[in-house]
Amino acid sequence: ILLDKDGKRKHTRPTFSGQQIFALEKTFEQTKYLAGPERARLAYSLGMTESQVKVWFQNRRTKWRKKHAAEMATAKKKQDSETERLKGASEN
């Protein structure tokens, strides 16, 4: 147990094993959201709390959305530049 300077309990981040992360990622590929019973089963099978699984999925969805948005922006830029190129070629 870690204590802060006032002697209160300090929150520590859990570290997950490679096997736990692999199972979480595999489950995330199949479904982005877990219902209560699914979350409970997964948490139990991985030796984690339901809260840890819930937060892991929330964080993973955020990461997934950011990556997806960046990929969409890149694709749009590529499409826009291709449209401009074709537009320029047709004007000549």
Model confidence at 8, pLDDT cuts 50, 70, 90, reads confident
d(CA 18, CA 72): 30
d(CA 58, CA 64): 10
Residue 51 domain-assigned (yes or no): yes
Residue 4 domain-assigned (yes or no): no
Domain containing 32 equals: 18-84
Residue 73 domain-assigned (yes or no): yes
Residue 40 domain-assigned (yes or no): yes
Question: What's the number of CA atoms in the CB half-sphere (13 Å) around residue 15?
Answer: 1
Question: Given this model, what pLDDT does residue 6 score?
Answer: 84
Residue 28 domain-assigned (yes or no): yes
Q: Would the pTM count as exceeding 0.85? A: no
pLDDT in tens, 44-85: 999 999 999 999 999 999 999 999 888 888 888 888 788 887
CATH number for the domain harbouring residue 53: 1.10.10.60
Q: What residues does 9 pair with on adjacent strands? A: 3
Residue 9 domain-assigned (yes or no): no
Residue 30 domain-assigned (yes or no): yes
Q: What is the DSSP letter of 10?
A: P
Closest CA to 52 of 10, 12, 14, 1: 14
Task: State how many domains the chain has.
Answer: 1
Residue 11 domain-assigned (yes or no): no
Of the two residues 62 and 2, the one the predictor is more confident about is 62
Tell me the mean pLDDT in the region 14-41: 95
